[in-house]
A and B are shown apart, each in its own frame.
Chain A
Amino acid sequence: MEFLTDFILQRSVAEAVLALVGLAAAFGAVLGFASVRFKVEADPIVDQIDNLLPQTQCGQCGHPGCRPYAEAISSGEAINKCPPGGQATINALAKLLDVEAPTLDEEHGQESELPNVAYIREDECIGCTKCIQACPVDAILGAAQQMHTVIADECTGCDLCVEPCPVDCIEMRPVQVTVAEWSWKLPADPGKPANLIASDRDDERSGAAA
């Protein structure tokens, strides 16, 4: 024992090494404890991607629903295959994944201006239940030999019910904007610099009047 103390006191290098090892052991223990005790369940990337997808469940990306596509994206698939989400979704995904935002892959469909909702022309419905089976969100109500109808509030506008209908009585209609949902639009072309020349301004006014 005495020998060991002498050895350490005489060799400053050993002293330093021992001190550092001791510190490392102590901090390691603290960190190890903290990592177990204060563990934070991180939101897995698939969930984050799934949150950004529009949940239309239309399958236009080639996957049976939004979640499977989110899983595919997390394992490296292209992020521009979602027409219902459009450019806004692509941009959000690009931001999340820290990649360049591509434009929408037209192969999978085009971005529609307005949200759609399925509508069943009820007089023509024969009650075959094929659309009910096709609906990914169970938004069609009906039974065999009975007329079917769409629960418009739950419809995602995926148009998966249109094709299976044997009598073609389902159509996609744009969602009607009511007064309650209406909102102001941004002033037209806010980035455009004002025309300061008097004659230009007159032009603009007559244009607006016409």
Chain B
Amino acid sequence: MRKIWEIPGGIHPPEHKAQSLCNPLADLPLPAQIVLPVSQHLGAPAEPIVEVGDQVLKGELVAMGKQAISANVHASTSGKVVAIEQRPLPHPSGMDGLCVVIEPDGEDRWAALQACEDYNTLEPAALLEKIQAAGIAGMGGAGFPTSVKLAPRNPIKTLIINGTECEPYITADDVLMRHHAADIVQGIQLLSHLLGEPEEILVAIENNKPEAIETMKAAVSECGDARMEVVPLPTKYPSGGEKQLVQILTGQEVPSGGLPAQLGVVCQNVATVLAAWRAVRFGEPLIERITTVTGEAFSDQRNVRVRLGTPIEFVLEQHGYDGKRASRLVMGGPMMGFSIVNAEAPVIKTTNCLLAPSLEEAPSPGPAQACIRCGMCAEACPSSLLPQQLYWYSRAQDEEKLKAHNLFDCIECGACSYVCPSQIPLVQFYRAAKGEIRRHDAEKKHADRARQRFEFHKQRIEEEKAARARAREEAQEKARQRAQEKAAAEAATGDKPVAPKADKAKLVADALAKAKQAGGADQRERLERKLLAADDRLAKLKQKESELADSPEQLEALRARIKEAELASQAIRNKLAALESAPSNAQAGQSKVAD
């Protein structure tokens, strides 16, 4: 028997798991529409690669994850792409996001899949590529792309398979283990192969699932791998949290801000293991999952295999959902789930449960009262944080203190809110504070970049200015040099015309006359140009007048403009005439002086 370590805190809420286990696992019929959000995972959204009007087959890629941390999205049935647009998402914000909408043709025809008989013949890189191509993301709730998690930088000693399912109401993993134990075990061997055969492989299952433990134990002993062991855990929420589970099984704490891989541990959810196995063995992408539909507002409570992209309202219809009885509709469990704003949103890769408790089952929480510093939250916290300090600092928005109290180690399990006698929605405070800190960090980054760019901009402007000044100086220098050279050359030839000193008056008069003549010629030219332009304009206006005969108002205005143009043209003609007479005077004057 393995040593089981204990985690601090934790709670024992009522389990409510029996009601969804009474009925057998079922399949859902095809809905009228399949809505596939391009972002069903953590990381960058995938980019649609189909167009509206395209025919797609079941399992065909419709959106591709192009960045390092992203995941592909596949059609979950065959049909026609009818829209690629913003649709409501299953997200606490209730916002819309980009979705590929498929209208099923009812045939449910598979695309050609690439099966692989023996994964041992393939390199780990090729296997990872298959898992990545199948769009597999953590199905336990967080939705982290699996192929990224299966390529850790550190050597792995321990592989943990998480079948804990510690949250009340949810039984999806329990049912999955009962039905697919043999496949899961093969999937575990695949993962072990990928991770370089770790020393120990632990399948952790809470002891409130005896049937699943039995089936898994049988499957493990059948495969005969001595490293593999099914470990039943005492039931306690939240032992299924990744960091908590690592601590329970290895006694080591994942460092603050770190990953289990740093301790040589990789943790995978059972449903993810199965999906990875199917992706490698049969080439099947992730297009369906098992979801628990439970809560007293449903007439049928059970687990169903549901195609990803099935609208939640369709699932509700199929299970006799009574909106009047339900206190709210939640995706996920009662502890970590969130209320769904719009039931048009689809089931996605991380939808492990749809919960609609009645008002008696989950009465709406009363108004929050003052914190009485009882300290029960600190006792319940599985991460050994101080929830009430975090609460006060969140209210005061004191980000430095929140960081100092390790707010980011909070896993938002909700144990503190559950035990709070004042019904303070503590987790909501932490989530808001985390969001605010992340926003400020992003703003800070943006500001730093803006500062850098501004400084660069200033430097560039100054450099340009300096370059212009330099060019001007150089030009001046060149001109000066040219002038000097010219002067030197003239001095050397020595035939520089020397002005007669006596006749100064004549020289001045000469220069004046010359200037006048030159100016006159210049002016004449200008006036002639002007005249030409004025005449041209006049001609154009007259032409317009002949074209424009039907509207008297415009005609009137046009006529006025024509008159103006005529006057202007006449004025120029007069000036020109005056100039024609002037040069002769000037010439006369010049000749007089010359005499």
A204 cross-chain contacts in B, Cβ below 8 A = 367
Asked if A71 CB lies within 8 Å of chain B CBs, one says: no
Report yes or no: B368 in contact with A138, Cβ–Cβ below 8 A: no
Contacts known (A182-B93, A187-B429); A57 close to B450, Cβ less than 8 A: yes
Asked if A30 CB lies within 8 Å of chain B CBs, one says: no
B453 cross-chain contacts in A, Cβ below 8 A = 137-139, 154
Q: How far is the CB of B210 from chain A (nearest CB, A)?
A: 38
Within A27-65, the residues touching B (CB, 8 Å) are: 50, 53-57, 65
A204 to B95, CA, bound (A): 27
Report yes or no: B454 in contact with A137, Cβ–Cβ below 8 A: yes
In the complex, per-residue mask of A78-117: 1 if CB is within 8 Å of any chain B CB, else 0? 0000000000000000000000000000000000000000
Asked if A4 CB lies within 8 Å of chain B CBs, one says: no
Query: Among B89, B369, B435, which residue has its beta carbon within 8 angstroms of that of A179?
Result: B89
Asked if A207 CB lies within 8 Å of chain B CBs, one says: no
Contacts known (A179-B39, A183-B436); A137 close to B450, Cβ less than 8 A: yes
A154 to B451, CA, bound (A): 11
A6 to B546, CA, bound (A): 131
Q: How far is the CB of A50 from chain B (nearest CB, A)?
A: 7
Report yes or no: A187 in contact with B368, Cβ–Cβ below 8 A: yes
Within A157-210, the residues touching B (CB, 8 Å) are: 177-187, 190-191, 193-195, 201, 204
Asked if B563 CB lies within 8 Å of chain A CBs, one says: no
Number of B positions contacting A (CB below 8 A): 40
Report yes or no: B432 in contact with A57, Cβ–Cβ below 8 A: no
Number of A positions contacting B (CB below 8 A): 34
Q: How far is the CB of B585 from chain A (nearest CB, A)?
A: 49
Interface residues of B: mostly helix, strand, loop or mixed?
helix
Within B39-71, the residues touching A (CB, 8 Å) are: 39, 45
A100 to B363, CA, bound (A): 47
A194 cross-chain contacts in B, Cβ below 8 A = 366-370
Asked if B449 CB lies within 8 Å of chain A CBs, one says: yes
Report yes or no: A201 in contact with B436, Cβ–Cβ below 8 A: no
Contacts known (A55-B447, A185-B432); A65 close to B454, Cβ less than 8 A: yes
B446 cross-chain contacts in A, Cβ below 8 A = 55, 156
Report yes or no: B91 in contact with A179, Cβ–Cβ below 8 A: yes
Asked if A66 CB lies within 8 Å of chain B CBs, one says: yes
A54 cross-chain contacts in B, Cβ below 8 A = 443, 447
Report yes or no: B369 in contact with A186, Cβ–Cβ below 8 A: no
Contacts known (A137-B454, A179-B93, A184-B92); A154 close to B449, Cβ less than 8 A: yes
A43 to B111, CA, bound (A): 63
Asked if B458 CB lies within 8 Å of chain A CBs, one says: yes
Report yes or no: B395 in contact with A191, Cβ–Cβ below 8 A: yes
Q: Which 10 A-B pairs have the closest CB atoms?
A: A183-B435, A184-B431, A55-B447, A194-B367, A137-B453, A55-B450, A182-B93, A186-B432, A194-B369, A184-B432
A/B interface sample: 13 pairs, CB < 8 A: A55-B450, A56-B450, A57-B454, A65-B454, A137-B450, A137-B454, A138-B457, A178-B97, A183-B435, A183-B439, A187-B368, A187-B425, A201-B366
Residues of B within 8 A of A (CB): 39, 45, 89, 91-93, 95, 97, 366-370, 394-395, 425, 428-429, 431-436, 438-439, 443, 446-451, 453-458, 460
Residues of A within 8 A of B (CB): 50, 53-57, 65-67, 135-139, 154, 156, 177-187, 190-191, 193-195, 201, 204
Apart from A57-B454, A182-B91, A190-B395, what 11 extra A-B contacts exist at CB < 8 Å?
A50-B451, A54-B443, A55-B451, A139-B453, A154-B450, A178-B95, A179-B89, A182-B93, A183-B432, A183-B435, A187-B425
